[in-house]
Structure 1
């Protein structure tokens, strides 16, 4: 289960980074945590439940910010 959580952390980080670069033209860790807090009410993936991690990935995928790694997301859904 830990491996899957860390994979979700990476997916969320990647998706939010793509979103911020697309929308504001740059990315910082501070902006990442601010956006995650805005999106999920928590500024860190470590404090999120498994269900919250799934929702965050789903939201980013629906907005098109995980298209480049879509096969990985689909594979994860089979495990969780």
Structure 2
């Protein structure tokens, strides 16, 4: 598993989520959004299963649609 691929997917998904739902996104708020959505404030603190689940949830919500080809199978 390439954790950095999952980190990038999660960052992208949360950026799309914040822009869609809140109208704006700033990088310093990433930890806050991640904590609210996942329960941890850093991707590096997440287990492999948590990373996979976070990406799956963001994909199901439609926030990874334009980059879904990057999601490992």
The separation in 2 between residues aligned to 1:37 and 1:45, in whole angstroms, is 10
**RMSD in angstroms over aligned alpha carbons?**
1.0
Partner residue, 1:15? 13
Which structure is larger by alpha-carbon Rg, 1 or 2? 1
Structure 1 outlier segments of 4+, above 6 Å:
none
3-state secondary structure, aligned to 1:58: helix
Deviation larger for 23-32 or 51-60: 23-32
Structure 2 CA distance for aligned equivalents of residues 50 and 5 of structure 1: 7
More helix by share: 1
Partner Cα separation in structure 2 for residue 59 and residue 42 of structure 1: 15
**In structure 1, what is the equivalent of residue 42 of structure 2?**
44
Higher relative contact order (CA 8 A, sep 6+): 2
2:33 paired residue among 32, 35, 41: 35
Give the whole-Å Cα distance in 2 for the aligned partners of 1:39 and 1:18.
13
Aligned pairs, how many? 73
